[in-house]
A and B are shown apart, each in its own frame.
Chain A
Amino acid sequence: MTVTLNLDGTDKLLKQFRIEKEKISDAVAKGMAKFGGEIIAESVKITPYEFGNLRRRSYVSGPEYDPDKHQYVMLVGYEKYNENFEHRYAVPVHERTYARHKPGTQAKFLEVTVKRKTGEYLNYMANILEEELKK
Chain B
Amino acid sequence: MTVAYAIRALLAASHISATVNYMPHTGTNAIAVMDTGGMASDYAHGLSPAIYDNPSFQILIRNASKPAADALITSILAILDGKLNVISGQVTFIEIRQSTPAIYLGRVQTDAGETNEYSLNFNAKLRR
Interchain CB contact (< 8 A) of A95 among B22, B56, B58: B58
Say what secondary structure dominates the interface of chain A.
helix
Nearest-Cβ distance from residue B99 to partner chain A, whole angstroms? 9
CB of B23 within 8 A of CB of A91, answer: no
Interface majority SS on B: helix, strand, loop or mixed?
Answer: strand
> A91 touching B103 by the CB < 8 A rule?
yes
| B37 contacts A by Cβ under 8 Å | yes
Which residues on B sit within 8 Å (CB–CB) of A118? 39
Is A98's CB under 8 angstroms from B60's CB? yes
Q: Tell me the minimal C-beta distance from B30 to chain A in angstroms.
A: 10
A95 CA / B62 CA spacing, docked (Å): 13
Total chain B interface residues with beta-carbon distance under 8 A: 17
In the bound complex, do residue A92 and residue B106 qualify as a contact, i.e. CB atoms below 8 Å apart? Answer: yes
The reply to whether A97 and B34 form a contact with Cβ atoms under 8 Å apart is yes
Q: Considering the chains assembled together, what is the distance between the CA atoms of A97 and B114 in angstroms? A: 19
Residues of B close to A96: CB separation below 8 A: 60, 105, 117
A6-14, A35-43, A107-115 - interface stretch? A107-115
Which positions in B face A, CB cutoff 8 Å? Answer: 22-23, 32, 34, 36-40, 56, 58, 60, 103, 105-106, 117, 119
Q: What are 10 A-B pairs at a CB distance below 8 A?
A: A95-B58, A95-B119, A97-B34, A98-B32, A108-B36, A108-B37, A112-B37, A115-B38, A115-B56, A119-B39
